[in-house]
Amino acid sequence: MGAVFLDRDGVINQALVRNGHPFSPASIKEFEWMDGIHAVTEKLCSAGFRIFCVTNQPDVGRGLQDIALVEELHKMVLNELPLEKIYTCYHDDVTACDCRKPRPGLILEAASEYDLDLEQAWLVGDRWKDIDAGNSAGCKTFFIDYKYTEKYPINIDYIVGSLSEAVNILLKQ
């Protein structure tokens, strides 16, 4: 089977939406799992998919969030979900790094490290940057449309309302 790349905020955990824009939780207390995330990731794992998280966490680079909190959240995610690894970009938009989505650097790093065939991989995200990164890496994409007030992605394979819906479609492929 292939690999599935999940964005973190809005896919694994609930994003905090303010004025139509999603934000990362600023504390452990603000972190809330998405409904059904445990069952859905177990279903993917049981079907033979390798699961990874690829996430931008620019508030660290901006000095607005402590890297220790992000790493604590990631330890919690890895302890509770059957993910292989979480790949994180801590840079701000102004940094010309290859790892910040919409660039595919995090996905390409995982593919190299785990010898993944990206033509057999899927990316699930809730923002245009996720979809662009998946497309650039050669993955098929699922866009969870929460109707944010921001740029809408293009070249989407599937538009869904939840990760559960995406996984149901994926498992029928």
Residues classed as catalytic: 7, 9
For the chain, state the CA radius of gyration.
15
Q: Which residues pair with 158 in a beta bridge?
A: 142
Task: Give the Cβ contact number of residue 79 at 10 Å.
Answer: 8
Distances in Å between the alpha carbon of 162 and those of 13, 105, 109?
12, 25, 26
Please give the Cα distance from 82 to 59 (Å, whole number). 26
